[in-house]
Amino acid sequence: MSQPPTGSRFVLEGVVVRHDGGGGAPINALDGVALAIEPGEAVALVGPSGSGKTTLLSLLNGSTRPSAGRILVDGSDLTELSPRQLRLVRASIGTVHQDLALVPNLRVSQNVLSGRLGRLGFLASVRTMLWPSAEDLRSAHALLERVGIPEKLFERTDRLSGGERQRVAIARALHQQPAALLADEPVSSVDPARARDAVGLLRELSRERGLTLVVSLHNLDLARSFFPRLIGLRGGRVAFDAPPAEVDEAAFEALYELADG
C-alpha cells in the first residue's frame, strides 16, 4: 500500500493549449501534441524557452486545462474528472517546480510533510503541520537523509541555500509517495556542478522507486547523458521523440534556431 508498484502512464491526444496573449491574437502554447509516456519511463523535454515545456508539464499534473484534446493519466481523462478525483490524481504526481515554490517561512519538516496534503483532510493536515507524529518526522528525516540534508530538518526553509531548497522540494514531492515525478528546469536554480547532481538524483530516485520521470531541460548534454528518451519541442509542437543516439547535432540545432533567423 505504501508504494505503487509501477509509475503513472501518461497519454496525450491532440492536445492544444491556447493563451489569450494579452489582448493580441491568441497564442498556442501547445499545438496538437500527441504522445505516450509509459510507466517507469524517464523522459527529458528539451527545447528553447517558450517552446511549451512548462505547459506540457503542467498538463501532466493537472494544473492546466487543455483548450482541446485529452490527457489520460493511468487511463482516466483529466478533463472529465470530478474535483475529488482530480485531487487524487494530483496527489499521485510529485512536481518539483522551477522556482521550487516552497513556503519560505515554514520549517523544512513542515514543507516536506506538506507533500501529503493531497491525501489529508483539513484538520488532519493542520495537526500534521503543528504537531507532527513521530512517524511523520521519521519519514521526513529519512527522505532528507536520502537527498543529503538530514541535519536541516527543523531549519526555517528561507535560511537554506538554493541547492538545499531544491532538495527540500524533491523531498516534498517524494513524501507524496507519488507514482510519477515531474521536474521543471531543475538546473535553473543551481550552479552547473549541482545541476548535474540534481538531475542524477532525480533519475536515481525515480529508478529505485519505479516512478515515471519527466524533466524539462535546457541543457542538452545533461538530457543526453541521463535520459533514454528525448522529446524535442519547438513552437508548441513535437519536433522529435527518440533515444539520444538517434538525435544528432543537426536536430538539436534546428530546435534552437531562431524562428526568423
Partner 1 sequence: MSAARDAEIGRLWRSRPRSRFARASVVAMLGLVAWAWIGGGLVPSELLSARRLANLERFLGEVTPYPLQGRTFDLGVALRWAGDLLVERGLAAAATTLAISVAAIVLAAIVGAVLGAPAARTIASPEPWLPDPRRPAAPVAFAWRGLVTGSRAVMIFLRAIPEYLWAFLFLAMLGPTAWPAVLALGLHNAGILGKLGAEAAENASRREPQALRGLGASRAQVVAIGLLPMTLPRLLLYFFYRWETCVREATVLGMLGIVSLGYWIQDARARNHYDEMVFLILLGAAIVLIGDVVSAVARRVVRRAS
Binding-site ranges for partner 1 (CB under 8 A): 107, 134, 137-138, 141-142, 150-151, 153-156, 159
CA angle 188, 189, 192 (to 5 degrees): 65
SS3 of 182-237: EEECCCCCCCHHHHHHHHHHHHHHHHHHCCEEEEEECCHHHHHHHCCEEEEEECCE
Which CB sits closer to partner 1, 25 or 134? 134
Q: Is 97 exposed, middle or buried (0-12, 13-18, 19+ CB in 10 A)?
A: buried
Q: Which is nearer to partner 1, 36 or 142 (CB)?
A: 142
Residue 123 CA: distances (Å) to CA of 117, 126, 209: 11, 5, 30
Q: How far is the CB of 153 from partner 1 (least distance, A)?
A: 5
Amino acid at 132: P
| Shortest spacing between CB 150 and partner 1, in angstroms | 7
**CB nearer to partner 1: pick between 150 and 192:** 150
Q: What residue type is assigned to position 222 of the chain?
A: L
* CA pair distance 40, 56, nearest whole angstrom: 18
Grid cell, residue 92, equals 499521485
Cα(199)–Cα(255) distance, rounded to whole angstroms?
A: 22
CB nearer to partner 1: give 93 or 168. 168
Closest contact distance (angstroms) between CB of 5 and partner 1 is 25
156 vs 229, beta carbon nearer partner 1? 156
CA distance 259 to 154: 48
Cβ at position 141, least distance to partner 1 in Å: 5
CB closer to partner 1, 107 vs 234: 107
**Beta-bridge mates of residue 19:** 27
* Residues in Cβ contact with 103 at an 8 Å cutoff, skipping those fewer than 6 apart: 110, 111, 114, 157
| Shortest distance, position 6 Cβ to partner 1, whole Å | 28
Residue of 185, 233, 183, 178 lying closest to 203 (CA atoms): 183
Identify which of residues 160 and 195 has a Cβ nearer to partner 1 in the complex. 160
- Distance in Å, CB of 59 to partner 1, minimum: 26
Tell me how far, at minimum, the Cβ of 88 lies from partner 1, in Å: 30
